[in-house]
Amino acid sequence: MLGWVLVFGVMAVAVHPEDCRAPSAAEIDRASGAAVGWLAANIEADGRILYRYDRDRGVDEGGYNEPRHAGVLWSLFQAERAGVPGAAGVADRGLSWALDRIQDTPIGPAFGEGARLLTGSSALLLAALDERRLLTADTQHDLLMIELGQTLEAAINDEGVLDASIHRDTGPLGDRSAFFPGEVLWALARLHITFPDEQFDEPALRLGRYIVEQRDEVERPWPPISDHWAAYAFETMDRWPDAPSIDSPMEAWIDRQLGLLGLQVRYESQRVGGITTLTRGPNALGAGVGTLGEGIGNWLELDSRTGLLGDDRDVLAERGACAVGLLVDRQARSDDPRIDGAWFRLGDTQMDDQQHALSALLLMRGHLPA
């Protein structure tokens, strides 16, 4: 009997109950509206958004990050397209801040402040501009979009390796980033749909091949990356008229991605406070849980056209619903506009917590289990 107690004790430490539920569409709509509300309440007159806020001390902790600013713009245009009113107006204010910071580099225009411009910033700005174009049919930024795409193309070498940053005066810096390849791939994939004659498909395919076959080994072998941006990208590439087929390396890579996403959702759902704070640590960032929902939402979207997931679809939808269920349950509600609608971890929120959570909610809304 003692042996049974000991062995089951070890198993209980290794595996906890998962606190999962699928939220209703109405709950998702309320949470999405509140997240947009936080961004609307915390955008400044010049279009900058409150970056990091400590609710326990009531302090704006400062700092800024251009890729995250651009990511917020994308999420806001996405929200407006999904029917969240007022989101595009906030995004347009943030867009003017970004457009004021387009700089010339030796390989073309790029978005960012200072001398070192991150390719991820331009990529996410491109995604935001493209989403805005779909929303408004406004073509005034078309030339800039194409030029930003050409800059990103020039930052990819023949092997499909992307430079993470571009110096304003000297050009690409030869540095690497784990997530920028997915962001740039997504931007180029979108551009190929919007501007099919500009031949953004070739660099996209080169970069996509690198992500699938080499990126994880070359740039960050451990811990493995669950790359929500690449999920966006491959979902978009699947909508190309000449969509690339999914070969066996790609299939294996997708399998690994789905496993990572599932594992992280299962782990996160075991964090229910109390003793699990000791065994599982505190809740993940809202941004972290959001990226899980984004990744899963995109793979489900792709599957709804291709049937790629087969029997795995139901369980993946269950994990995605669990992720957005956690987001709905963890969203802060308050009379304080710096708190209401945000996601906090250890008293802090950052604007990308709202961005990733909002996008996850919107993506998963159409894929909730019946």
Interacting residues toward other proteins by CB under 8 A: 3-4, 6-8, 10-12, 14-15, 17-20, 256, 258-259, 261-263, 266, 312, 315-316, 319
CB of 296 to other proteins, least distance (A): 9
Q: DSSP state, 197?
A: G
Q: Is 44 within 8 Å of 55 (Cβ atoms)?
A: no
φ, ψ of residue 299 in degrees (nearest 5):
-65, -35
Strands lying side by side in the sheet with 165-167 = 116-118, 165-167, 171-172
Q: Is 132 within 8 Å of 167 (Cβ atoms)?
A: no
Q: Which is nearer to other proteins, 81 or 266 (CB)?
A: 266
Distance CA 196, CA 193 (A): 6
What separation in angstroms does the CA of 297 have from each of 147, 243, 317, 331, 366? 30, 19, 8, 19, 9
Q: Which is nearer to other proteins, 39 or 364 (CB)?
A: 364
CB of 317 to other proteins, least distance (A): 10
Handedness of CA 285, 289, 290, 294 (dihedral sign): positive
φ, ψ of residue 59 in degrees (nearest 5):
-120, 135
CB of 266 to other proteins, least distance (A): 6
Q: Which is nearer to other proteins, 8 or 64 (CB)?
A: 8
CB of 282 to other proteins, least distance (A): 20
Residues 6+ apart with CB under 8 A from 129: 95, 141, 144, 145, 148
CB of 21 to other proteins, least distance (A): 10
Residue 352: strand, helix, or coil = helix
Q: Which is nearer to other proteins, 95 or 300 (CB)?
A: 300
CB of 343 to other proteins, least distance (A): 23
CB of 285 to other proteins, least distance (A): 22
Q: Is 18 within 8 Å of 270 (Cβ atoms)?
A: yes
Beta-bridge partners for 172: 166
Q: Which is nearer to other proteins, 4 or 222 (CB)?
A: 4
Q: What burial class does residue 128 get, using C-beta atoms within 10 Å of its C-beta: 0-12 exposed, 13-18 middle, 19+ buried? A: buried
